[in-house]
Amino acid sequence: MAAKGDMVYAWAKDAEIQKKGECGGAVTALLKHALESKMVDAVIAIKKGKDLYDAVPVVITNPEELIQTAGSLHCGTLLIPKLIKKYLNGAKDKKYAVTCKGCDAMAFYELAKRNHINLDNIIMIGVNCGGSVSPVAARKMIKEKFEVDPDKVTKEEIDKGQFIIEFEGGHKGIKIDDLEEEGYGRRSNCRRCKMKVPRQADIAAGNWGVIGDKAGKATFLEICSEKGANLVNDAQSKGVLETSPADPKGIEIRGKVERAMLKLGDEWRHRDFDGLGKGKDRLKMMMEESSKCVKCYSCIEACPICYCVECSTKKPWFVAPGVLPTSFMFHLIRFAHVSDSCINCGQCEELCPMEIPNALFMHSQQVEIEKMFGHVPGRDMTPPIHALVEEKAERARLDATGTDSIFTNIFADE
């Protein structure tokens, strides 16, 4: 019987899942079992769209359709939890099993803290993530650096510090460090990321540390919660998943890989944050860059921290409506509301039509705040530094005071 804290090698019993899935298909087998055993109402995972650069989220209720989500796509840059909040009622009325990268797992916790996702209804199958590459950037990199037609590529993966492609007639790997020196490679937030093994999920799965005859044929599972242990045990007892104890040497190697990735994350943080300059120079740079903002609201819509029904940026006394260039107040409001809890998921930057490095700006502030207050977002249910209130109730309370005086509203009762 597996228990929280256990580390095992696992693989699917079903031959098709084993073949189509990554590393023996343990993740697909677990998802399918969760659905078949009615542990969940649906599975939320990523399937291949037009080609292997096109990652499309999908809600699956028919276990037979799960096979289309087998295999990994490194060009998927999606953030699933915000989609669950927006389109699936925050999992308040249904149970879901979800595959998640580090940023997804962190976003789940931040949304749960703010009462926008019911984590009790979510089984998180975490997957190790060394970073993702935006689809168009990946195609450009494959064409220009690998000198391969991106349409001919049949598989891509990130392994042992290399970006590796398989294509009709061969395979090729180039060191990620070299690619990134030349401006290719992973998204900038992924480079700075230090959530490589999502242990706040129910299970953290991956291929790091699978050695010996199991290499490539089994998935490394670290069981991180009782929910995760139940799923593995149940899947095993029903005969859909097979496991063996993880090789101690494999565990050691997995730790090494993770530490190397974390070190790389630190290096990129130094590099990126130093590039922002200091003090007034940093402020000036942020003001200049953000003056290009055209108020598409993508940064706010996609942000796992933003949830207000009445967004302060839409109050005309803070930010004049319909006026471009957008007042810096718009961005100051975002900084003030988000920066203590920013998980560096990168969505605000990836979706910005004016190429403002939003994630870099916000992340740079989050690490400073973390140094000051010791709050680490996205790891567990610890509330953020800012007080949390029920928005509607708090607005009603403030309205009832009949004044906008901060003293009356905040301190008078004390």
The residues that touch other proteins, with contacts defined as CB under 8 A, are: 42, 44, 49-51, 53-59, 75, 77-78, 83, 86-88, 134-136, 139, 291-292, 294-298, 301-302, 314, 321-322, 324-325, 350-355
- Min dist CB 278 to other proteins, Å, is 21
Element spanning 249, H or E: helix 248-275
- Side-chain-side CA neighbours of residue 288 (13 Å): 7
- Min dist CB 293 to other proteins, Å, is 10
- Min dist CB 324 to other proteins, Å, is 5
Give the residue with the Cβ less far from other proteins, 88 or 211. 88
- Amino acid type, 414: E
DSSP 43: E
- Min dist CB 298 to other proteins, Å, is 6
Give the residue with the Cβ less far from other proteins, 55 or 264. 55
Closest by Cα among 237, 242, 236 to 214? 242
Give the residue with the Cβ less far from other proteins, 49 or 173. 49
Q: Is 331 exposed, middle or buried (0-12, 13-18, 19+ CB in 10 A)?
A: buried
Give the residue with the Cβ less far from other proteins, 25 or 71. 71
Q: Tell me the CA distances in angstroms from 230 to 203, 245, 340, 351, one per residue in order.
A: 10, 17, 34, 38
Sheet arrangement for strand 96-100: 55-60, 42-48, 96-100, 122-127, 203-206, 219-223, 7-12, 241-245
Q: Tell me whether the omega of the peptide bond preceding residue 63 falls within 30 degrees of 0, making it cis.
A: no
**Long-range CB contacts for residues 60-64, cutoff 8 Å, separation at least 24:** 60/35, 61/35, 63/32, 63/35, 63/36
Quote the CA–CA distance of 191 and 130 in Å, as a whole number. Answer: 8
Give the residue with the Cβ less far from other proteins, 82 or 254. 82
Give the residue with the Cβ less far from other proteins, 50 or 371. 50
Give the tokens for residue 244. Answer: 């063996």
DSSP-derived secondary structure for 292-329: T-----HHHHH-SS---SS-GGG-TTTS-TT-SSPPHH
Give the residue with the Cβ less far from other proteins, 86 or 284. 86
- Min dist CB 28 to other proteins, Å, is 20
- Min dist CB 279 to other proteins, Å, is 23
Quote the CA–CA distance of 373 and 385 in Å, as a whole number. Answer: 8
Give the residue with the Cβ less far from other proteins, 222 or 289. 289
Q: Is 166 exposed, middle or buried (0-12, 13-18, 19+ CB in 10 A)?
A: middle
- Min dist CB 357 to other proteins, Å, is 10
- Min dist CB 209 to other proteins, Å, is 30
- Min dist CB 235 to other proteins, Å, is 25
Give the residue with the Cβ less far from other proteins, 76 or 102. 76
